[in-house]
Amino acid sequence: MDNAVEPLAGSHVPASERREFAKEPVSAIRTRIRRGAFADQTGGLAPGMLQGNLAILPASYAQDFSTYCQRNPKPCPLVGVSDRGDPMMRTLGADIDIRTDVPLYNIYRDGELAGQSRDIRDLWQDDFVAFVLGCSYSFDAALQAGGLPLRHLEVGRTPSVFVTNVPTVPAGPFGGGLVVSMRPFSVPNAVRAIEVTARYPNAHGTPVHFGDPAAIGIADMDRPDWGGPIDVLPGEVPVFWACGVTPQVAIRQARPPICITHAPGCMLITDIEA
């Protein structure tokens, strides 16, 4: 599995600048992304707004992928679908152009990661359909408001992301293992986190597992499939949420001639409240 979560070299935003940027209106954040001035992960930005994972596919794959999302709503909560060939995500906000408004894109060819880009206008095809799936970043602000610390935001990283041995329900050529993101909590805080995230079904909702990572096929917590390791301190347990990177595993199995996704951690920020 390619560790493709880290954006383009030199794109990380200093913590102080990031804190100020996070206070800006969503439209200003998207404008900066559209201009290519921000290619970093979007955790902590636009608190309270729905962030989304992305998968763009040729129309010939769209029905099977839509069915895959319907059969796997926990990792693939479908919140927006474009019209064929239309890059504007009209149901998710004002003037959202899916070709420019994600900080960093992964480009897959025949199921293999072929490159990354901050702008995919030159790759857009008349038969493309864009799917946006809710992201767990959307409930981070609610966790923080509930007094629950989030280490990935404290250290300026994405959560650790792992492929598990839990199978998803296949649809057409799409299938593969469930992908999860991990946040560490004390046991009392883990229980509170479950209660908070239950209110966000469009952002993966409650965790799928907490405790022993080996029970879901994770052999080494220091070697995530995407992102860097996040420490689990004494007295804490790892808590795992279904993750919208799951389709990127399914895409490797389906091997479409081309598919464009977000680079993990680099989400579309919508105008919809989480």
Per-position pLDDT tens, the chain of length 274: 333 333 443 356 666 677 777 778 999 999 999 999 898 889 889 988 999 999 999 999 999 999 999 999 999 999 999 999 999 999 999 899 999 999 999 999 999 999 999 999 999 999 999 999 999 999 998 999 999 999 988 887 888 999 999 999 999 999 999 999 999 999 999 999 999 999 999 999 999 999 999 999 999 999 999 988 999 999 999 999 999 999 989 999 999 999 999 998 899 999 999 8
Note the pLDDT of residue 3: 35
H or E, element range at 160: strand 160-167
Note the pLDDT of residue 249: 94
Cβ-based neighbour number of residue 133 at 10 Å: 28
Asked if the domains 15-137+254-273 and 140-246 are classified in one and the same CATH topology, the answer is no
Note the pLDDT of residue 99: 98
At the top level of CATH, the class of 140-246 is alpha beta
Phi, psi at 178, each rounded to 5°: -65, 135
* Residues 6+ positions from 57 with CB-CB distance below 8 Å: 65, 128, 129, 131, 256, 259
**Domain regions of the chain by residue span:** 15-137+254-273, 140-246
Q: Which two tokens stand for residue 175?
A: 């299938």
At the top level of CATH, the class of 15-137+254-273 is alpha beta
Per the listing, tokens 């046991």 go with 187
Question: What 3-state class would DSSP assign to 195?
Answer: helix
Note the pLDDT of residue 43: 87
C-alpha distances in Å from residue 17, one per residue of 21, 24, 80, 158, 265: 6, 11, 30, 17, 18
Q: What's the chain's length in residues?
A: 274
Map 52-118 to HEC letters. EEEEEEEHHHHHHHHHHHHHCCCCCCEEEECCCCCCECCCCCCCCECCCCCCCEEEEECCEEEEEEC
The dihedral of CA 92, 137, 224, 10: what is its sign? positive
DSSP 176: -
